[in-house]
Amino acid sequence: MNQPIQPILILGTRIFAEEVADLVSEIPGFQVAGFVENMEPERCQKKMEGLPIYWVEDLPKLAEDHLAICGLTTTHRSRYTEQVAALGIRFASLVHPSARVSPKSTLGEGSMVSVGSIIAAHTHLGPHVIVNRGVLIGHHTEIASHVSVQPGANIAGACRIGEGTYIGMGSVVIDRITIGAHSVVGAGAVVTKDVPDNVQVVGVPARIVKENINGK
């Protein structure tokens, strides 16, 4: 028996949304049905990847049989996901076939795990977490909602990553580290000690270079 196809709407109409569409195209049982815009209604007059662009306020008529996934890497995407959830749209959780997620780990709604990523045992990803290409996440790690983990990052075991934090490309977080909410770890940084909320850290070892920020 053929597996039923679940239509997916991608929130966003910029270039990362096209990357997400490519990801979805390789996951059995899902098919991109269109994209969703919430800032520039004139974009809805065009198509993207040959598919329609829907205005966000038109989503209730699609809520019964469509799921959504957010195609924005900014950690401020929480505003968008909350807007869409309020319109009655449910969210998919997506794992690319080349990724490996331990059966003892869990993913929140709206989270995605991209090509070649590995999530070890007893780890939990909250809602709307983006695990980009080639990411490694160790065992017994907790990642809160709307975190972005960029390509090639390596988060070790027993770590805690706060809500809305951005983990930059190629960065390393050693084991048992806590990184606060709405912080930014710069590309290539090596985090060897706990990071508070609302700061940016860069370098090897990582050091605070900005305070009072709100994610990225």
Which residues are known to be catalytic?
Answer: 139
Q: How many other C-beta atoms lie within 10 A of the C-beta of residue 151? A: 17
Each residue of 35-69: b (16+ CB within 10 Å) or e? Answer: bbbbeeeebbeeebeeeebbebeebeebeeebbbb
Radius of gyration of the chain (CA): 17
Strands 6-11 and 30-37: parallel
Report the half-sphere exposure of 189 (CA within 13 A, side-chain side): 24
Q: Closest Cα partner for 30 from 8, 2, 63? A: 8
